[in-house]
Amino acid sequence: MNLKTLIGQLQLLAILEGISYISFGITMPLKYMYGLKGPNYVVGVIHGGLFISFCLWAILAFQKRKVTLGELALLLLSSIIPFMTFWAERKILKNKN
């Protein structure tokens, strides 16, 4: 993963966005079972920023002709389905660098 390239940055965002999504699995029980709202809020803010960044980088990669329209659609879909950003990083982005 070369962080100097657009695809390398998108790969990192895919992994971080996926981790932040999974983090809700920890913070949701804290919020609803124990009344601890702080951790869920922090994870939510981080996840929101990563989600928006991932989507913007995916669109930028499409505009720069690094990904096709079909790949862009899969990348955007992957951002809303848990664990799918990890799949997208492996199957779509890994061989583009």
Buried-exposed string 24-43: b where 16+ CB fall within 10 A, e elsewhere: beebeeebeeeeeeebbeeb
With cut-offs at 50, 70 and 90, classify the pLDDT of residue 44.
Answer: very high
Residue 41 has what pLDDT?
94
pLDDT of residue 51: 94
pTM for the model stands at 0.87
Helix, strand, coil percent values for the chain (each to nearest 5): 80, 0, 20
Residue 22 CA to residue 25 CA, distance in Å, equals: 5
> Cβ(47)–Cβ(21) under 8 Å?
yes
Higher pLDDT, 16 or 25: 16
| pLDDT above 90: residue 1 | no
pLDDT of 59 above 80:
yes
- d(C-alpha 83, C-alpha 88), whole Å: 9
Cβ-based neighbours of 61, under 8 Å, separated by 6 or more: 6, 7, 10, 67, 72, 75
